Amino acid sequence: MSDRDTPLDGGDTVDPPRGFVDQANVTNERIHEEFDEGWPECWERAADLLDWSEPWTKVLNDDDAPFYEWFVDGTLNAAYNCVDRHVESGRKSHAAIKWEGKLGETRTYTYQDLYREVNEFAAALRGLGVEEDDVVTLYMPVIPELPIAMLACARIGAPHSVVFAGLSGKALGTRIERADSEYLVTCDGYYRRGNAFNLKNKADDALLKVDHDVRSVVVDRLGETLPHTIDDADRDYHELLDEHAGATVDPVPRSAEDMLFLMYTSGTTGEPKGVEHTTGGYLSQVAWTSHAVLDLEPADMYWCSADIGWITGHSYIVYGPLTLGTTTMLYEGSPDYPERDRVWDIVERNAVDVFYTAPTAIRSFMKWGEEYPESHDLSSLRLLGTVGEPIGPRAWNWYYEHVGNGECPIVDTWWQTETGAMMVTTLPGVDPMKPGAAGPALPGTDLDIVGSDGSSVAEGESGYLSITRPWPAMVRSLYDDEDRFIEEYWTETDDGWRYETGDRARIDADGYVSVLGRVDDVLTVGGVRIEITRVESTIAGVDGVVEAAVVAGANNMLYAYVSTESGRMGDDALRDLINETVERSIGTVATPLRIVFTTELPKTRSGKIMRRLLESVTNGEPLGDTSALRNPESVGELQAAIRDR
Ligand code: 6R9
């Protein structure tokens, strides 16, 4: 293994390509210092990207920490900022949303089209009885009606709670019940790899378990393809639009601190948490990071390949790009259907400027081979981004060379559902990149890596990543559970409050953070603490390996699930090389008891490996709820492999 392949070591430094810097939105080399010196007023630069109905009187109120308030007394409307102001400034016919459906359909909504439909649906929601502050649940695949429903809710001041369409009816029911939500917008079904799936039946099941009445609106996505029930209480989305054709609804001015949406964290483990985001602070930071990190401009064709049901989709498919008046692409399909060049085909056909995806997708692209991106003209790309998991130097370099052609900076953005917006990343027009390290803290934020006693660890040592200053897009509370909010996230210190991210990380002399994984991914074997993510990244750095997940069995031994480049499955030489590499870099305690080769690891829709499931597979236990899985077919293969040993 060359140095360059050592996983997560943040080896070489790569300067942002000159051609990019020359046109970047933010090139001020003093920006980190300026934000630092002028904190918290520095955040007014973010808020100034928005139109406010009433200005704020104070940037930050910390009287009741850790219940912070941002842009106190300011009022604004998120839908107005995402839609109306672009129409009013003469950009009616500019494309707002470009949609690519599963069957190859495309639809384009100009800002004027978006204005019309958001208004009509807002009027329809009001007609159904939705009032300001009522939570509306949205359960839909990536179709334009989903962002339209989100914006219609925002227009009338009704917080939305989007539940990812891949989650089970049971999960939907729990979320509706907990949020006391009396309205549901859903869809008859969706396509997956060309097959129709019924979503309405799942929604109906969910409602059977909810104690209060729920009014549903159903979008017809499939036509006659799948029979589903529309009972008397349900309303058809398009019929409602017809009834309210041409209606307009004044955007409701919301206080900066009013809830814009509620998002239940998908949680690969544990109980879902209802994360509350507000209107002013959230929208300000999301707009600012879209401008400064994603470098978005109105003229851009921008594509974030996440699902809207994930926080990434909320912040960086819907609110960020639309606030800036950009064209945002929505893609309903899979990256390899009908062919493995689907993503590059979309980039080429739409001349995508900025592409934002997850390391798990990049590792799949790597596995499929560079011939797929190379068979397309990707020269329209200007900036690449990643989010969701650590991207090791190997995948980083591959993305940089084969997708970006060495000309596009990569922003490796660390953040969470709870942070609402990006928190750790390079600014592409300012900071050098270090493959394997996400970057420094975003200007206006501050972090620390602490040990279990709460004091800062030495440079290069791993510890708990914590955030030491409030930031505008921060989670305000957990729905109906302020005690749990404090207990889950906050520690009081001599200097105030520290937000605990639940991630392990280390920091280098330049302040660059390498995120190592979740805190709970630590195993003690024979008194030695082993960071499971370190074992994983070591295995992932071996030539021939695409991705690795390591879990502890009930016997407290490690099991490695490894996906390989094609043709290397069952390759004993590769198995030996993995064992030797782990032994050399970490020690024999960390060598897995078994290495199971597989074509694909089981993942959630947002690309996170489902370790809980792998543990059950390892221990031969029942699998529990697998509805969050993107690739359920991967599980059978693993169960078979672990059985016939
Ligand atoms: C946006 C999002 C949050 C967790 C986070 C961390 C992991 C996200 C990362 C990253 C390393 C990055 N994570 N971005 N790890 N490098 N660039 O993913 O939100 O679904 O709440 O997950 O994802 O572990 O704590 P969410």
Question: Average pLDDT for residues 139-145, to the nearest whole number?
Answer: 96
Where is pLDDT greater, at 546 or 267?
546
Sequence-separated (6 or more) residues with CB below 8 Å from residue 59: 40, 41, 43, 44, 70, 71, 72
Q: Which pLDDT tens digit goes with each residue over 243-277? A: 999 999 999 999 999 999 999 985 444 578 999 99
| Helix 572-585 with 532-540: angle, nearest 10 deg | 130
Place of tokens 């280098």: 508
Taking the centre of ligand 1 as the mean of its atom positions, its distance from the CA of residue 633, in whole angstroms, is 25
Ligand 1 pocket, mutate which of 317, 357, 389 (most atoms under 8 A from CB) = 389
Ligand 1 midpoint to CA 416 (Å): 5
Give the Å distance between the CA of 609 and the centre of ligand 1. 12
Could you tell me if 218 and 186 are in contact, meaning their C-beta atoms sit under 8 angstroms apart? yes
Residue 388 CA to ligand 1 center (angstroms) comes to 4
pLDDT at 25 over 60: yes
Q: Which residues line ligand 1 (CB under 6 A)?
A: 265, 311-312, 387-390, 412-417, 438, 501, 503, 515, 518, 606
Model confidence at 319, in pLDDT bands (50, 70, 90)?
A: very high
Ligand 1 atom nearest residue 391's Cα: 16
Spacing, Cα 312 to ligand 1 middle (Å): 10
Asked whether residue 470 carries a pLDDT value surpassing 80, the answer given is yes
- 434 versus 193: the higher-pLDDT residue is 434
Instruction: Give, as one character, the DSSP assignment of residue 322.
Output: H
pLDDT averaged over every residue in the chain: 91
Residue 288 has pLDDT above 60, yes or no: yes
* 1 confidence band (pLDDT: 50, 70, 90): very low
> Cβ contacts of residue 354 below 8 Å, gap of 6+?
294, 295, 296, 300, 301, 302, 303, 381, 382, 383, 384, 385
Closest approach atom of ligand 1 to CA 424: 17
> What is residue 263's DSSP assignment?
E
Output 588 or 14, whichever has higher pLDDT. 14
Report residue 77: phi and psi, to 5°: -125, 130
Least confident range from 161-170, 183-192, 431-440: namely 161-170
Q: Identify the pLDDT of residue 229.
A: 65
Sketch out the chain's domains with CATH numbers. 521-644 (3.30.300.30)
Take atom 15 of ligand 1 and give the residue whose Cα is closest. 389
Q: Is the pLDDT of residue 402 over 50?
A: yes
Among protein residues, the one with the nearest Cα to ligand 1's atom 12 is: 414
Nearest Cα residue to atom 2 of ligand 1: 416
| Contacts of residue 337, Cβ cutoff 8 Å, sequence gap at least 6 | 102, 193, 194
Specify whether the CB–CB gap between 544 and 574 falls below 8 A: yes
Nearest ligand 1 atom to alpha carbon 518? 24
In the chain, % helix, strand, coil (3-state, to 5) comes to 30, 25, 45
Looking at ligand 1, which residue's alpha carbon is closest to its atom 10? 389
If one residue of 304, 387, 518, 537 were mutated to test the ligand 1 pocket, choosing by the most ligand atoms within 8 A of its CB, it would be: 387
Residue of higher predicted confidence among 617 and 42: 42
pLDDT value of residue 9: 45
What pLDDT shows up at residue 519?
A: 79
Mean pLDDT calculated for residue range 546-573:
86
Q: What is the DSSP string of 177-236?
A: HHTT--EEEEESEEEETTEEEESHHHHHHHHHT-SS--EEEEE-SSTTSS-----TT-EE
Tell which wins on pLDDT, 632 or 154.
154
Distance (Å) of CA 210 to CA 162, 213, 214, 592: 17, 8, 8, 45
**In 222-364, which ranges are E strands?**
235-236, 254-255, 259-264, 274-278, 301-304, 327-331, 354-357
Cα(311) to ligand 1 centroid in Å equals 10
Determine which residue's CA is closest to atom 26 belonging to ligand 1.
Answer: 416
CA dihedral 263, 267, 272, 273 (to 10 degrees): -50
Site to substitute for ligand 1 among 317, 356, 416, 516, most atoms within 8 A of C-beta: 416
Residue tagged 């814009």 (tokens): 260
| Atom nearest to 502 CA in ligand 1 | 25
What pLDDT score was predicted for residue 266?
Answer: 57
- Measured in angstroms, how far is the CA atom of residue 467 from the centroid of ligand 1? 14
Separation of 518 CA from ligand 1 center, angstroms?
Answer: 9
Nearest CA residue ID for atom 8, ligand 1: 388
Residue 11 has pLDDT above 70, yes or no: no
Give the residue, by CA position, lying nearest to ligand 1 atom 17. 414
Tokens 């008859």 -> residue: 188
Q: Which two tokens stand for residue 419?
A: 């942070």
DSSP-assigned letters across all residues of 417-461: TTT-S--B---TTTSPBBTTB-BSBPTT--EEEE-TTSSBPPTT-
pLDDT tens profile 418-427 = 999 999 999 9
Output the residue whose Cα is nearest ligand 1's atom 4.
Answer: 416
Select from 503, 504, 516, 604 the residue to mutate for testing ligand 1; criterion: most ligand atoms less than 8 Å from CB.
Answer: 503
| pLDDT band of 645, cuts 50, 70, 90 | low
pLDDT of residue 119: 98
CA of 174 to the centre of ligand 1 (A): 24
Q: Flag whether pLDDT at 223 surpasses 90.
A: no
Residue 36, pLDDT above cutoff 80: yes
Which of 37-46, 344-353, 611-620 has the lowest average pLDDT?
611-620
Q: How far is the CA of 389 from the centre of ligand 1 (A)?
A: 5
Q: How far is the CA of 567 from the centre of ligand 1 (A)?
A: 31
Least confident of 5-9, 445-449, 472-476, 498-502: 5-9
Residue 448 to residue 513: CA distance in whole angstroms = 10
Ligand 1 centroid, distance to 387 Cα (angstroms)? 6
How many distinct helices (H) and strands (E) make up the chain? 22, 30
Q: How does residue 381 score in pLDDT terms, banded at 50, 70 and 90? A: very high
Share of residues in the chain with pLDDT > 70 (%) = 95
118 pLDDT band (50/70/90 cuts)?
very high
Q: For 576-599, write each residue's pLDDT tens digit.
A: 999 999 988 888 778 898 999 988
pLDDT greater than 90 at residue 7: no
**What pLDDT shows up at residue 627?**
74
- Asked whether the predicted pLDDT for residue 8 surpasses 70, the reply is no
- Closest-lying ligand 1 atom to the alpha carbon of residue 517: 24
